[in-house]
Structure 1
Amino acid sequence: MRREPEDREGIKAVLEAAHERQLLDAESYKMIKGALAVSEGTVGDIMVPRSRMDLLDVTQPIPYLVASVIETAHSRFPVYEGDRDNIIGILLAKDLLRCMLEPGIDVRSLVRPAVFIPESKRLNVLLHEFRASRNHQAIVIDEHGGISGLVTMEDVLEQIVGDIEDEFDETEEDSIFPEGENQWRVLAATDISHFNDVFGCTLPDDEYDSVGGWMGGQLGRIPRRGDHAEFEGLRMEVARGDARRAIWLRVKRIAPAQSAPPADDA
């Protein structure tokens, strides 16, 4: 009689065997493994570190804040006053629009309470708390009470189901946007073949599927904001990213596009 698994390692072994025997499709296998990982992982495993958090200074002029929102394309921002460790709450991008419609409004009146959690909190517990409280973002603190990072509901869910497109993510057909003469904003997840078609280049696609993946390969690590690489007269710079990947790139043509060599005359 076949014994049932008695611990997590046993469950993983059963899943692996079922997947190898094609009793479990790849997507289901990935999701179940992700659910197990969430039950074992902590916030510290997936948070965006403090050095890479995009924060808003509540004392800055409204146009500056709006520009920051457009630049990073997040929907929620931690807000600080004075010191970056003094986070006073969360500002939603949609609430900031009220400041443009009502010039006299005080930004502080739009700031919502922030949720603070320790790095050691289990991801499954956090997911339950997110769902119960309808919060989508939490500030992570270290053992001394200092700001350690940031985590969102999307970060937790992506451990289970993989990357989730948010309200600012685009489809491949809408992943490359002109931003001026010889400059574009490009979704890092853009398929390399599509990128090559648009820019007339030959970015290699034998090892990587996306432009962001190729950049990570050139850097030897996860791309960070400000990182850049050049290829065939194109300069690609990371404009937005998180702890796991690049999200948006700025692409600038710094040399004329290469054209195919003329065919030899017969």
Structure 2
Amino acid sequence: MSDPHYSRLPEREDKRSFLQKVAEFIHPAPESADELIETLAEAEDNQVIGTESRVMLERVIRMAYMSAGEIMVAAPRIDLVNIDAPVEEILHQVISTAHSRFPVYQGERENIIGILMAKDFLKLQRSPTHNIRALVRPALFVPESKGLNELLRDFRANRNHLAIVIDEFGRVAGLVTIEDVLEEIVGEIEDEFDIPEDEGDIFALGDNSYRVAGDASIDHVSEEFGITLQLSDAEEHFDTIGGLIAHEIGHMPKRGEQFHLGGLEFTVLHTKGGAVRWFKVVRDSSSDSLVKN
């Protein structure tokens, strides 16, 4: 009688978590950050982790040794709002800069008294009285030496998205956002509408329409379409097509809204930070004045 045939037992499913696999691979533990990074590279070579995981873990490790002062936007480049400026001037700044949050100062730029959110300010435009001070929220101040790990923890705990960085003499050194911190981990955060500036701001599409950037200059749009775009108020001046349209209609355009201006129909494709990033534009010979649909 022949020997019985034994079938091969099925391989056991590996139920270890990703962190367990890494922990087992790096045992005994590395004694420095550099050794840990080298070990992660070995883990990638041995297919314990993927390339993206290795890169992200390396960034997390390196971030632990970085401070707010290393990634901040320097003070001279910060767009500040003067609490005593006319409402129209603040509105123009909110529209043209397209930020969602603004540090607010009184008197000197060093005297920051809080943070103004663009969405709060734009809602105020519907009110007959303008009490901007009531909208200013407390600002988070941190030293240049503040570790990014601690800063991220503060952002999450206090639900802040922006912090004012102070130097050793108590002066404003810069500004750092939660996005700045997260980009140290995941890399630059972009979306499908992010296009390098040198690639242009007006694109012809296949259906005889165009995609036009909200920050495209009015002169460029006028030249491209062979038209003249004029404000209803001759005393006002705007450089971008997004700023011009937002001013004319009296509020920040929303996705899907349509407007007619200078024989063109503008449809809002994408907004970001309270400002229009992209319009879809078609020629509309039936209208040469601004009309809200």
Structures share fold, TM-score greater than 0.5: yes
Aligned counterpart for 1:41 among listed residues 66, 73, 86: 66
Q: Distance in 2 between matches of 1:129 and 1:111?
A: 20
The match for 1:233 is none
The match for 2:137 is 112
Q: Which stretches in structure 1 are left out of the alignment for 5+ residues?
A: 185-247, 249-266
- Give percent identity, aligned residues only: 45
1:151 aligns with 2:176: yes
**2:110 alignment partner, SS class:** strand
Aligned counterpart for 1:162 among listed residues 187, 211, 225: 187
* Aligned-residue offset at 1:170: 3.0
The match for 2:53 is 28
1:39-92 deviation digits (Å, cap 9, x = unpaired): 111111101110111111111111111111111111000000110000010000
The match for 1:18 is 43
* Aligned-residue offset at 1:34: 1.3
Q: Distance in 1 between matches of 2:128 and 2:47?
A: 61
* Aligned-residue offset at 1:104: 1.1
* Aligned-residue offset at 1:26: 2.7
Scaled by the length of structure 1, the TM-score of the pair is: 0.62
Moved over 2 A (4+): 1-4, 16-26, 169-184
Q: Distance in 1 between matches of 2:116 and 2:190?
A: 21
Code of the residue aligned with 2:218 in structure 1: it is G
Code of the residue aligned with 2:159 in structure 1: it is R
Q: Where does 1:30-179 land on structure 2 (aligned, <5 Å)?
A: 30-165=55-190, 170=193, 176-177=213-214, 178-179=216-217
Number of residue pairs matched by the alignment: 183
1:5 aligns with 2:30: yes
Q: Distance in 2 between matches of 1:75 and 1:140?
A: 18
**1:101 alignment partner, SS class:** coil
Scaled by the length of structure 2, the TM-score of the pair is: 0.57
Q: Which stretches in structure 2 are left out of the alignment for 5+ residues?
A: 1-24, 196-202, 204-210, 223-276, 278-293
The match for 2:198 is none
**1:120 alignment partner, SS class:** coil
* Aligned-residue offset at 1:17: 2.9
Q: Distance in 1 between matches of 2:36 and 2:78?
A: 36
1:162-200 deviation digits (Å, cap 9, x = unpaired): 12248xx8356967455434249xxxxxxxxxxxxxxxx
Conserved 8 A contact 1:62-1:99 = no
Q: Distance in 1 between matches of 2:219 and 2:58?
A: 46
Code of the residue aligned with 1:105 in structure 2: it is H
The match for 2:218 is 180
